[in-house]
Amino acid sequence: MKKYIILLLILVLSFIFGMTTGCNNKNTPTPVPITHIISPLDVCGILISNGITQVSPILSDHIYSLPSKEWVQTTFVKDYHNLLVSMKSENYVAEENDCDKFSTLAYAFAHILHHNTIDKIEKTGLAVGELWYSPDTGGGHAINIMIVYETNNYNVIFFEPQNQTIINLSTKEKESCSFLLF
What are the domain boundaries of the chain? 2-181
The residue with greater pLDDT, 24 or 1, is: 1
Tell me whether strands 64-67 and 125-126 are parallel, antiparallel or unpaired: parallel
| pLDDT averaged over every residue in the chain | 84
CA atoms within 13 A on the CB side of 109: 28
pLDDT category, 92, cuts 50, 70, 90? low
Least confident interval from 16-20, 68-72, 89-93? 16-20
DSSP SS3 for 3: helix
Of these ranges, 74-78, 115-119, 158-162, the one predicted with the greatest mean pLDDT is 158-162
Nearest to 79 by CA among 37, 136, 157, 26: 26
| The model's pTM | 0.81
The 3-state secondary structure of 93-162 reads ECCCECHHHHHHHHHHHHHHHHHCCCCCCCCCEECEEEEEECCCCCCCEEEEEEEEEECCEEEEEEEECC
**CA–CA dist 179, 13 (Å, integer):** 26
Is 57's pLDDT higher than 80? yes
Is the domain spanning 2-181 CATH 3.40.190.10? The answer is no
Which of helix, strand or coil describes residue 58?
strand
